[in-house]
Structure 1
Amino acid sequence: MTQTPFIRRRSALIRSFALASALMATAWLPQTAQAQDYPTKPITLVVPFSAGGTTDILARIIGQYLGEELGQSVVIDNKVGAGGNIGAQAAARAKPDGYTLFMGTVGTHAINASLYKKLPFDPVKDFQPLSRVALVPNLLVANPQQPFKTVAELIEYTKANPGVVNFASSGNGSSIHLSGELFKQMAGVDMQHIPYRGSAPAIADLLGNQVAIMFDNMPSAITHVRSGKLIPLAVTTAERSPELPDVPTIAEAGIPGYEATSWFGLYVTAGTPEPIVNKLHAALVKGLQDPKIVKKFAEQGSVAYSETPQEFAAFMASETTKWAQVVKTSGASVD
């Protein structure tokens, strides 16, 4: 029977659709097989800050768990500098195969976009978010040799001695730095900011009384507080920390409305195959809900947290807007 033009066109469309479907299925098979085999070699977890700081501490806890869960070692690679930008750039340029993870922070993926005139990476386009892993309060700590033991005494001393008190941070524009800038604005005091290349060297100078105070992430400061080497003046969150229930919030201590919180999240390079992203996300969420991990995080003064990649992406967008205003008001900038 002779086919009409309509029947011939319909048959051609059917054949084209079948061919396209077959090609898509064929293309999907390698990715699926790749995800099933993944990982077949060690995974690198890039940490953009120095060893011993909060980002590093949390990354090592998560890295050890993921290594055990996935059956391959997770190697920590500390790439320090430029407020986390050097490490972020390295991770952004890595091959998108799931073998390079990145421990991002509120700095690298929310603050730096407005702090730096030009970033060597795009926080949104260059990364595939997996999930936030921890929410961390900052802790205002002082060297015991300083002439103040409370927030009220700090404010009184600083107003009587403008520009004398200096505060350390892990770097210009970090959440630790901006916590101090917010304090200065709301308390109406004049303090000098001393930036360091990471939390660990800043803490070292604080312990040596080279600087007076620091608004440090709790995980890297709490050990020194428990040993009595640093005095806790207040936490920066709206509520007290369960790990230090006797330490007041800054709002309670005399600056109503003050609040600043840090967060940390895990990423892979953009373009990583979806099956691998899903496998990593599932392993990560499982770890963040493991009682042992939750306890280890709590011991460091942080709260384990998990979410979907979509939720994490939406949160990043809101945080970028929030911190852009804080940076603008503080006048903080990095050339």
Structure 2
Amino acid sequence: MKATTALLLRLPAIVMALAIVPPAYAQAWPTKPVRLVAAFPPGTPGDVIARLIQPALQATWGQPVVVENKPGAGGNLAAGEVAQAKDGHTLLVGPDTILTINPHLYKKLSFDLRASLKPVTYFASFNQTLVCNPAAGITSFEKFSRLPPSRPYASGGTGTPSHMTMEMLLATTGIQLTHVPYKGPGPAAQDVLAGHVDCGFIVSSVVLPHVQGGRLQAIAVSGKERSVLLPKIPTVAESGYPGFDATFFETLLAPSSLPAATVEKVQRDVRAALDAPTIKARLAEMDLLVEGNTAQDAQRRSQQDFAKWGAVAQRAKLQLD
């Protein structure tokens, strides 16, 4: 009887000890090197962010942090590798489009993108800027809207943010243009610069130097707010289409099997690294606005944008496999 009574008296302490196991496990993570698999080539925004915060994460985690680039198939190649990783120390760096757009375009993948991966945090937001060759004489959104249907527009590739943004714009405004996809935003910008194509919605970080140098004419910004680097350029919403918002995000994703406590730890540590003034300043130079939101907020936004871009893909009858 005394032994039973003693056990009952100890139960609250035992329960409390068990309750703190998940946080204790999370604090022990990582126990070996962490791989950040970048879904796009070196020099792209996600890759740059990963390498900028790499030293801070190594110092916090006490383990090597290795950034590996594995580009291909719109980010699906890297996504597949991370989704199948079982070591608990492999994470994915890439745009939110991997979860919000790709599932609508790639229906024959051997794995389910949204079921296999989950957002840990959004590093930073970025926009597309509608730019035109100055020789085309398109100096306002009103003039852009009068382009005839036969005129081509450039994008960084089918299903990319620049393409999807323009498809959303065409559906919203009723404008009809002909799509010319390129192998990335760089080549798309080069052909607009050369005058081979009049205009294109191209990621702001790529076209910004050309706009500032007067080699491209900026017409509108895709997001909800104006760029701090191009404060005189209106948003599409300000150009007569309230509610238009094509904001994108560079993100950190994890296999769905990663414990929630570990996800929360990674998010906190990444947010702390992003909050360094030098990091914020460097990203601002690329027209990237630091986010660092919680996993819950990132997952909520991902679900909303998945529905939004699904409607665009369906309207444009887009499928890539």
TM norm structure 2: 0.83
The answer to whether the 8 Å contact 1:53/1:200 transfers is no
> How many angstroms apart in 2 are the aligned matches of 1:248 and 1:206?
20
Map Cα deviations across residues 223-259 of structure 1 (whole Å, 9 max, x no partner).
3322333321111123322221111222333445433
* Correspondence for 1:289 among 255, 267, 275: 275
Q: Which residue of 1 aligns with 2:40?
A: 49
The match for 1:125 is 115
Deviations 1:183-210 (A, max 9, x none): 2223333222222343334334444444
Q: Distance in 2 between matches of 1:221 and 1:177?
A: 15
Question: Which one-letter code corresponds to 1:70 in the other structure?
Answer: W
| SS in structure 1 at match of 2:80 | helix
Partner of 1:94: 85
Q: CA deviation at 1:46?
A: 1.8
Instruction: Give the counterpart of 2:302 among 310, 316, 322.
Output: 316
Contact 1:50 1:199 in 2 (8 A): no
Partner of 1:251: 237
CA deviation string 1:45-73 (max 9, x = no partner): 22222333333333333445434543455
Distance apart, 1:32 and its partner CA: 4.6
Name the CA distance, whole Å, in 1 between partners of 2:96 and 2:78: 14
Provide the rounded CA distance (Å) in 2 between the counterparts of 1:203 and 1:237.
Answer: 19
Aligned to 2:153: 166
Letter in 2 for 1:60: R
Tell me if structure 2 keeps the 8 A contact 1:81–1:197: no
Residue matched to 1:85? 76
**Farther-moved stretch of structure 1 (210-219 vs 268-277):** 268-277
8 Å contact from structure 2 (residues 45, 250) kept in 1 = no
CA distance in structure 1 between the aligned counterparts of 2:210 and 2:53, rounded to whole angstroms = 23
CA distance in 2, matches of 1:52, 1:302: 14
Instruction: For residue 320 of structure 1, give the secondary structure of its aligned residue in structure 2.
Output: helix
Provide the C-alpha distance between the structure 2 equivalents of 1:240 and 1:308, rounded to a whole number of angstroms.
Answer: 24
> How much has 1:266 moved relative to structure 2?
0.7
Structure 2 gap ranges (5+) = none
Once the two structures are TM-superposed, the CA of residue 273 in structure 1 deviates from its matched residue by 4.6
Specify whether residues 285 and 148 from structure 1 end up closer, same or farther in structure 2 by C-alpha distance, changes over 3 A only: same
Alpha-carbon distance in structure 1 between the residues aligned to 2:198 and 2:51: 29
SS of equivalent residue, structure 2 residue 257: coil
Letter in 1 for 2:167: E
Q: Paired residue for 1:8?
A: none
Q: Distance in 1 between matches of 2:222 and 2:261?
A: 39
C-alpha offsets along residues 110-151 of structure 1, whole Å, 9 cap, x if unaligned? 112222223343333322421112122221122334342322
Amino acid in the other structure paired with 2:155: A
Q: Amino acid of the residue matched to residue 184 of structure 2?
A: G
User: How many angstroms apart in 2 are the aligned matches of 1:75 and 1:145?
Assistant: 45
Which residue of 2 is the match for residue 279 of structure 1?
Answer: 265
Aligned to 1:38: 30
Give 1:35 deviation, angstroms.
4.7
The CA distance in 2 between the partners of 1:210 and 1:62, in whole Å, is 39
8 Å contact from structure 2 (residues 40, 94) kept in 1: no
Q: 1:137 corresponds to which residue?
A: 127
Pair 309,252 (structure 1): closer, same or farther in 2 beyond 3 Å:
closer
Q: Work out which of the two has the higher radius of gyration on C-alpha atoms and give 1 or 2.
A: 1
- For residue 253 of structure 2, the aligned residue among 260, 267, 273 is 267
Identity, % of aligned pairs? 30
CA displacement at 1:179 relative to structure 2: 0.7
Name the amino acid aligned to 1:111: I
CA–CA distance in 2 between the matches of 1:64 and 1:225? 33
Superposition TM-score, scaled by structure 1 size? 0.80
Contact in 1 for aligned 2:123/2:290 (Cα 8 Å): yes
Aligned residues: 314
Q: Structure 1 residues 215 and 65 mapped into 2: Cα distance closer, same or farther (>3 Å)?
A: farther
